[in-house]
Structure 1
Amino acid sequence: MTSERPFVASLGDPLATRHGRTGGKGANLARLVAADFPVPPGVCVTTAAFERLVDEATESEISTLDDLDPTATVDVAERSEAVRTTIRERGLPSAVREAISGAVEALGAETFAVRSSATAEDLPEASFAGQHETFLGVADTDVPDRVLDCMASLFTDRAVSYRLRNGVPNDDVAMAVVVQAMIEPDVAGVLFTADPVTGNRRVASVDANYGLGDTVVAGDVSPDNARVDRTTGELIAYEVGEKRRTRRTKGRGESGTETVDVPAERRTDRALTNAELTTLVDLGGRVEACLGGPQDVEWALVDGSFVVLQSRPITSLFPLPTPTPDDGALHAYLSFGHVQAMPEAMPPLVLDFWRGFFDRGVAAFVDGEDAGALGAAAGGRVYVDVTPVLRVRWLRDRFTDRISVANEPVADGLRELLRRRPEAFSEERPTAEARSVARVVRFATGEFRSVVGGLARTVVSDFVDGPPDPDEELAWVTAWGNALADELDEPTTLADRTRAVFDRLDVSRVLTEPVPRIGGHLLAAVLAGRLLRRWFPDAHAEVDALGRGFEAEVVTRMNQQLGDLADRARGSPAVLTALQRGDDLDTIATVDGGEAFVEDVEAFLQTFGHRASGEIDVSRPRWRDDPGTVLGTVRSTLEHDTAGTHVDHLSRLDREAVAAAADLDHRAARGVLGPLQRRLVDRLVRTYRGGIQLREYPKHGIAFYFAAAHDVVETAGRRLVAEGHLDHVEDVWFLREAELLAALERDGPTTVNVERRRREHDRVAVMTAPPVVTSEGETPTGAVADPDRADVLTGTPVSAGVVEGYARVVRDPTTETLAHGEILVAPSTDPGWTPLFLNAAGLVMEVGGRMTHGALVAREYGLPAVAAVEGATTFFETGDRLRIDGSQGTVERLDVE
């Protein structure tokens, strides 16, 4: 500390707005004071005082807190208490005490509010609300001691744990303390300038109680709650709370507060009038504008006027989709990740890739006309603006029905939004995007007719001429995918190859190339399956069995080869030992039998090395980049299966399919039309089985492009590291498309703060992404869980059957394994997760639907499965005994004796 840095600063001092000097709370209040907001007079004991308090020995003790495990609550509590004791025993230096006492005397109040203001709190990315001490009604002589207590509270066990979980080093923070003249309000409470429950930025939420507002903040009473439309000023709802108790200062020079009962006749009165609500919400809107973003405002009503006690950002809100619409209308966005069963956050460059995928593709469909920005990003996820479809009456129901097949919560959210806000999607108020739908439809009747025609021809051919040869189809889709990938090698410069990553693939190309062929086979299969279910309404189990046991199915090919790798390792003790040690491929190649095993692994990677877990996130390494993932799967198979298990499993499923076909044939043979019916059923069965086994082929093909794109961008990253523009190769994924191209073309440094973007990515990555979000931030949902069944979660039934077993919660398939007979509980699954299915007895997924990867594989393997089980990975724990009902869509935690 230098002598130029004061221990105490007035909230009106411009230097008090510096976060590093007065902490989050103090800096926000100083900004409000500077903008002439009504704030009680006060000062801030600055971080210079804290730095004078903490000597070198104390700093050393504080730094050891970073070594703690945040889940080791006893250790955290003991070590945190030791640090607090050290600080209290040192006491405030005399110069600091004198500065505080002088400032308190100058304020001239009877009592004071003393509030902690840490440098790591009240930030847009982490509020740290409630982690530190606040004291109300403090007598002037007690203020220095309460300041000391506030400074010590920087190391409460809850604050230390919070910092450890959020990656904030304990020695990187400091504590300032706000000291304000105490007021005695008539009413006080909290105002959220955005609805903290729904996320709607247009709706303000107010909690209010008589007296001091800490009864509301602490949850000691049931306060009044009001919800107000900020745009129109309309009172949406006002719920009167019980308000049994209130709090007030003791007064008479005595520190502290006291709780008193509210007279019975006042408890059911409204704490705020409509006029007062209007004034308060307007005040909150101005605070939001001043501080930049939705705010959690603590306020008080004194003699008919409102004052702001403190304000912090609401950090729990899911970010708004960007780019924001410019037409003033409500827009609805659905999560692309949920539809793809991959809701995890992706870095900025990947978001640009997918936004362009949608925007360029739609632009192609409307023949170059401006179709608006349909691709959007929010919270590290890709969203698609579906407003144009929802504004067309004859499309919206069909669209939501189709979406429900892929992901029921997405469809439920859209239906809930349409039910509550029908006027926002009226055809009487068309937007530019809605008009673009008409252009798409017109285009569909012209150039796009060839696509529809191709689909129709494939469907007819499958019914008339018989199903496709799966080997031929796999060869075609592999050639298509490789040709796509090869296009990235055509440009001569790295900058042009990088540009090609974003230009060569879009939704129009997918729809016009693989869809007419592979999509036609799948459509024929879906139609055949529906006809079989209608023909035999009591034979759904048999039809389900027909959809399993395909040796040619991509995922089955993958798992069979992995099983073969495990069996080869079993035949070589040296290879088996090397795998169990966790050796890499180079090391395994040196042991007896290792060379042949490595050749088999390389053959597997030649076919499947372009795949990855969460592969729509192009930044993730492919299996060929990290063969350790494949070796880990082989190791798990060796631990939990016996030789030939994978072959026996496939044979059993094939026999069940043959038996199901024979049963349907037997049923069809009944009656005078039996011979004709048998021929028709045979054709439907062959069409269904022939097409449904191709369901993963398109993704297998397009994954070649993802892998090539990953390689090009990583090459760009290595160049930028070599030129000193980036510190690490993986930093390239935190650039935007334009930034990356500019750095490559101009050979100049990038000014992007990669570390800040990483922190923002880490912050949003832990957020639960909503399936549907609006341009106002609202996250509509469908049905809620039954509160009468506390141990049951419900979701979408996607694979029939009932099974009981022990849960294994898995979040990363590359590092975790599954024992035979365990129930896999996962956020989502894609082909990278498939090897875990070899040992699973059942499947529970937080996202997904009937046609997403996990559901398809579960049905292929005959595993009971439930998708769209919100919160499953946190509600259930590894070792819980579960019962899955894949027909009813329930997952029940059973009592364990």
Structure 2
Amino acid sequence: EDAALTSFAGQHDTFLDLRNQDALLASIKQCWASLWTARSLSYRARLQVAKVPDASAAALAVVAQTMVPAQCAGVVFTVNPLTGADEIVLEAVSGLGERLVSGEAAPARYRMDKETGAIREAAPQGQPPLLNVTQLKELARLATRIERHFGQPQDIEWAWDKGRFYILQSRPVTTQSAATREERVAQPPPDFVNADGQIDMVALLRRANETGSEIWTDDNVGEVVPGVVTPLSWSALEPLGNGAFRRFLRRVGVRRYPDAGLFGRFYGRVYFNQSQFQRMMHRFYPSSIIQSGGSRLSGGFRAAWRLTETGLRSLFLMLTLPAEVSRLVKSIPRQLADVPASKSLTVQDLWAESEKWRQIGQQLLSVHLAVSIFSTLFYSLLDKLVTRWSDNSIETAHLLAALPGMKSAEMGRDLAALAAEAAAEPGLESCLADASADALLKCAAQLPAGNRFARHLERFLSQHGHASLREFELAFPRWRDDVGYVLLMLQNHLHAHSAGRAGADAAAQQAKRRRAAAAMRRRLGFGPKRAFFEFLLYGARRFSVSRENAKYTFVMAHSHLRDLYLALGRRLQAQGALADSADLFYLRKEEIAEFLAGHIDGAELGKILVRRQAEQRGYENAKTAPPKIIEEWPDGSLRAVNLPAGDNGSETAIALRGVAASPGRVTGRARVILNPLDSSRLERGEILVAPSTNPAWAPLFLNAAALVTEVGGLLSHGAIVAREYGLPAVLNVRDVTKTIRTGQLLAVDGYTGEVRLLDD
């Protein structure tokens, strides 16, 4: 039994609690005899296994094991047997596991993320917990190790007694559903579309709450963490992101929150759990008092006190956060300046240092998350106030344009200053025609101004070299690792003749900011309205700058974490454990820790790498794009939530809608850039159309007339930098890089969120 295609579950006899040798021998004979029962014969005949019922065609080996008087027992699957989802499914009953497999007891059921151990589904409330979170995660780790050993998903029977787990049996999973996770995702539920042609998230979340499903989306997170992430990046990022949110909740007094996190990984990409976020934020609203009170007055008082405590803690956090960000912006570079050279560290030291910086990253991300929440709050309130009290004559974004001290914007201006220096020296401009860093420096050394330019380039990289087009992906090079992107941006500035204009553009935006604020103050005069406006304006400006600087500082620390992993990969390659140092990025951090502790040998590590690299190629080469919104049902199956396919028709002007993120109206030619590293040059005055952007794209913004992206919102990094540069922007336009082609004439309206494709 227990073959890959046939389990023989329940077909042969099993005997428990045998007390002496006579009982053992008698039971062995009865096990042999069960080979010839009617149920066993018919099972073999139906599956065409040993069709002739004689001793030469079938034989039975009997397994005798020590009896474990289990406190609880059950089964654990390393793949969901119903949906095919790559997750842990665990069932447990009190006492012996025979009560579960025989159907005598209803089990407590859990679903867990195989990579992180996060609990996606727990036993119903009111049911006594048989295993705590630590035990569940230990059992999940054991099951995953067993799966790695056999090289395929396993159905494992286990028991818990006297403080330890016993593995009783492991066999291949034989009943995976034909409707796999990928196939189910193509079966969308009814669409929820609002008047603007967008998904009505409120209606979708309400329906999901009724059905017990979870809504996952790539909104915002698709901009911050675009594309397929490597296993090491995800195993480091998942506890960073989810841990940062839990740390924020603790700081504002929320003591109870689920083990499941806000971030998940589907199809190799990171998604955000909107359902979980809605449940968490519900704790901050007064309606929670009414719902928790009901006829029980004490429950309402408790909820009111929790809300009051949360409010006071939130107020304290709001008042102290900007100063905390300022301290971190200063202290992290100092800490990085004092880190020991990686060559002086042992393998174990490198691992310990990487864990230390991962914890520092979690602290920074927690601060960034808190600042982002307050930034959203102040911006939303300011926008509503300005819209109501100015009769739409003043744009909120103009009040926040060109704010001083925003490091992500300074990065673009510093690069423009480098380009201006190169433009002033004709020889340097011709040197930059070769994108090779070595060739550039060799060429520049022959020129009078060349050495000064080389020093300034080195200073730029020392300040901003931690930036990357994919900041959260640890496998992706940083600017200081590969100067090619920086040189490409310098060439772009020179080609578009935009070098030297950054200062003038910034001055114009600062003047626009001052005029907008003055106009609003004149309209309000003096009094309570003016005081409230000044409070919101101060908060929106300060938290906007703090948000970007906290993110900038996190990326700096995360870049050092990458350096530590690269050094560790080189050491393991030198020891023969890895064929290439970059192979480390295909391992999860838990697997690296197990290898360093001696729990995984080199051969097993090699098997993991082969499987992981094939999985990664499958994600990256998928023929269909992953859905933007996923609904995860209680059984673990996934379904896409898709908008109806758009029909552009044959009108002379096609209108696309998105989020109006930065004001202004522009008509110009489109330049579709999927990756800033490609050979496309953004000409001055063209409209940049991209899947998403992060601060590393900022140098391109200086040449663009407007920005249009598929992902993003009012407070995404692309929107903030666009407002900083006074660039009209419309974000979150569905499939815009597929709908629009380079060279087409567009009209971008940053006031209404409309992008019109004009027939010229």
Instruction: Please give the TM-score of this superposition, normalised by the length of structure 2.
Output: 0.62
Instruction: Trace 1:15-34 onto structure 2 (pairs within 5 A).
Output: none
Offset at residue 348 of structure 1 (A): 1.0
Instruction: Classify 1:511/1:489 alpha carbon distance in 2 versus 1 (closer, same or farther; 3 Å).
Output: same
Offset at residue 793 of structure 1 (A): 2.6
Offset at residue 663 of structure 1 (A): 2.0
Q: Which residue of 2 aligns with 1:823?
A: 687
Instruction: Trace 1:724-743 onto structure 2 (pairs within 5 A).
Output: 724-743=576-595
Instruction: Say if 2:457 is the partner of 1:601.
Output: yes
Kept in 2, the 8 Å contact 1:772–1:779? The answer is: yes
Q: Which of 294, 297, 302 does residue 179 from structure 2 map onto?
A: 294
Amino acid in structure 1 at the alignment position of 2:359: L
TM-superposition CA deviations, 1:1-35 (whole Å, max 9, x none) = xxxxxxxxxxxxx9xxxxxxxxxxxxxxxxxxx99
Q: Which of 413, 428, 436 does residue 583 from structure 1 map onto?
A: 436
Instruction: Please give the TM-score of this superposition, normalised by the length of structure 1.
Output: 0.53
Q: Which residue of 2 aligns with 1:768?
A: 625
CA RMSD, Structure 1 to Structure 2 (Å): 4.5
Kept in 1, the 8 Å contact 2:244–2:365? The answer is: no
Kept in 2, the 8 Å contact 1:795–1:867? The answer is: yes
Offset at residue 331 of structure 1 (A): 3.3
TM-superposition CA deviations, 1:24-74 (whole Å, max 9, x none) = xxxxxxxxxx99799xxxxxxxxxxxxxxxxxxxxxxxxxxxxxxxxxxxx
Instruction: Classify 1:629/1:588 alpha carbon distance in 2 versus 1 (closer, same or farther; 3 Å).
Output: farther
Kept in 1, the 8 Å contact 2:686–2:704? The answer is: yes
Kept in 2, the 8 Å contact 1:451–1:516? The answer is: no
TM-superposition CA deviations, 1:743-799 (whole Å, max 9, x none) = 344394222353543342233235533333233211224687465577333222212
Q: Which residue of 2 aligns with 1:566?
A: 419
* Cα distance in 2, alignment partners of residues 444 and 729 from structure 1: 50
Q: Which residue of 2 aligns with 1:380?
A: 268
Instruction: Trace 1:44-83 onto structure 2 (pairs within 5 A).
Output: none
Q: Which residue of 2 aligns with 1:800?
A: 663
Q: Which of 491, 494, 510 does residue 654 from structure 1 map onto?
A: 510
Offset at residue 800 of structure 1 (A): 2.4
Instruction: Classify 1:479/1:393 alpha carbon distance in 2 versus 1 (closer, same or farther; 3 Å).
Output: closer
The range that moved more, 659-668 or 341-350, is 659-668
SS of equivalent to 2:432: helix
Instruction: Say if 2:718 is the partner of 1:860.
Output: no
SS of equivalent to 1:720: helix
* Cα distance in 2, alignment partners of residues 568 and 759 from structure 1: 46
Offset at residue 684 of structure 1 (A): 5.4
* Cα distance in 1, alignment partners of residues 261 and 540 from structure 2: 38
Offset at residue 679 of structure 1 (A): 6.8
Instruction: Say if 2:548 is the partner of 1:699.
Output: no
Offset at residue 729 of structure 1 (A): 2.2
Instruction: Classify 1:837/1:398 alpha carbon distance in 2 versus 1 (closer, same or farther; 3 Å).
Output: farther
* Cα distance in 1, alignment partners of residues 184 and 613 from structure 2: 17
* Cα distance in 1, alignment partners of residues 352 and 389 from structure 2: 52
The range that moved more, 677-686 or 843-852, is 677-686
Q: Which of 874, 877, 891 does residue 738 from structure 2 map onto?
A: 874
Q: Which residue of 2 aligns with 1:638?
A: 494
* Cα distance in 2, alignment partners of residues 390 and 35 from structure 1: 54
Offset at residue 589 of structure 1 (A): 4.7
Q: Which residue of 2 aligns with 1:813?
A: 676
Instruction: Classify 1:535/1:369 alpha carbon distance in 2 versus 1 (closer, same or farther; 3 Å).
Output: closer
TM-superposition CA deviations, 1:131-162 (whole Å, max 9, x none) = xxxxxxxxxxxxxxxxxxxxxxxxxxxxxxxx
Amino acid in structure 1 at the alignment position of 2:595: A
Instruction: Classify 1:812/1:600 alpha carbon distance in 2 versus 1 (closer, same or farther; 3 Å).
Output: same
Instruction: Trace 1:88-103 onto structure 2 (pairs within 5 A).
Output: none
Offset at residue 708 of structure 1 (A): 0.8
Q: Which residue of 2 aligns with 1:778?
A: 639
Q: Which of 295, 317, 325 does residue 455 from structure 1 map onto?
A: 317
* Cα distance in 1, alignment partners of residues 422 and 464 from structure 2: 19
Kept in 1, the 8 Å contact 2:687–2:705? The answer is: yes
Offset at residue 597 of structure 1 (A): 0.6
* Cα distance in 2, alignment partners of residues 889 and 685 from structure 1: 23
Instruction: Trace 1:362-401 onto structure 2 (pairs within 5 A).
Output: 365=250, 371-372=259-260, 375-390=263-278, 394=282
Amino acid in structure 2 at the alignment position of 1:378: F
* Cα distance in 2, alignment partners of residues 733 and 497 from structure 1: 15
Instruction: Classify 1:596/1:806 alpha carbon distance in 2 versus 1 (closer, same or farther; 3 Å).
Output: same
Amino acid in structure 2 at the alignment position of 1:371: D
Amino acid in structure 1 at the alignment position of 2:668: G
Amino acid in structure 2 at the alignment position of 1:742: E
TM-superposition CA deviations, 1:619-649 (whole Å, max 9, x none) = 2111111122111111110110244211111
Instruction: Classify 1:532/1:391 alpha carbon distance in 2 versus 1 (closer, same or farther; 3 Å).
Output: closer
Q: Which residue of 2 aligns with 1:629?
A: 485
TM-superposition CA deviations, 1:279-301 (whole Å, max 9, x none) = xxxxxxxxx976764379xxxxx
* Cα distance in 1, alignment partners of residues 332 and 407 from structure 2: 16
Q: Which residue of 2 aligns with 1:885?
A: 749
TM-superposition CA deviations, 1:563-604 (whole Å, max 9, x none) = 110111122222211111223154245231221111111111
Amino acid in structure 1 at the alignment position of 2:557: Y
* Cα distance in 1, alignment partners of residues 514 and 269 from structure 2: 43
* Cα distance in 1, alignment partners of residues 587 and 669 from structure 2: 43
Amino acid in structure 2 at the alignment position of 1:571: A
Offset at residue 507 of structure 1 (A): 8.8
Q: Which of 566, 577, 585 does residue 714 from structure 1 map onto?
A: 566
Instruction: Classify 1:755/1:289 alpha carbon distance in 2 versus 1 (closer, same or farther; 3 Å).
Output: closer
Kept in 1, the 8 Å contact 2:708–2:729? The answer is: yes
Amino acid in structure 2 at the alignment position of 1:545: H
* Cα distance in 1, alignment partners of residues 387 and 560 from structure 2: 42
Q: Which has the larger radius of gyration?
A: 1
- Unaligned runs of 5+ residues in structure 1 are 1-13, 15-33, 39-192, 196-287, 297-312, 320-327, 400-425, 428-438, 460-467
Offset at residue 442 of structure 1 (A): 9.7
Instruction: Trace 1:325-340 onto structure 2 (pairs within 5 A).
Output: 330-335=213-218, 338=221, 340=223
TM-superposition CA deviations, 1:694-745 (whole Å, max 9, x none) = 4411111111221011101111211222222222222211112222223344
Q: Which residue of 2 aligns with 1:198?
A: none
* Cα distance in 1, alignment partners of residues 245 and 566 from structure 2: 28
SS of equivalent to 1:778: strand
Kept in 1, the 8 Å contact 2:245–2:369? The answer is: no
Kept in 1, the 8 Å contact 2:586–2:613? The answer is: yes
Kept in 1, the 8 Å contact 2:710–2:737? The answer is: yes
SS of equivalent to 1:840: coil
Flag the structure with more relative contact order, 1 or 2, with Cα contacts below 8 A and sequence separation at least 6: 2
* Cα distance in 2, alignment partners of residues 810 and 587 from structure 1: 31
SS of equivalent to 2:606: coil
Q: Which residue of 2 aligns with 1:349?
A: 232
Instruction: Classify 1:398/1:378 alpha carbon distance in 2 versus 1 (closer, same or farther; 3 Å).
Output: farther
Q: Which residue of 2 aligns with 1:156?
A: none
Instruction: Classify 1:295/1:602 alpha carbon distance in 2 versus 1 (closer, same or farther; 3 Å).
Output: closer
Q: Which residue of 1 aligns with 2:117?
A: none
TM-superposition CA deviations, 1:663-713 (whole Å, max 9, x none) = 2233234xxxx5886676566555544443444111111112210111011
Amino acid in structure 2 at the alignment position of 1:579: L
Q: Which of 510, 522, 527 does residue 666 from structure 1 map onto?
A: 522
SS of equivalent to 1:751: helix
Offset at residue 502 of structure 1 (A): 5.1
Kept in 2, the 8 Å contact 1:501–1:709? The answer is: yes
Amino acid in structure 1 at the alignment position of 2:640: T
* Cα distance in 2, alignment partners of residues 687 and 370 from structure 1: 31
Instruction: Classify 1:492/1:452 alpha carbon distance in 2 versus 1 (closer, same or farther; 3 Å).
Output: farther
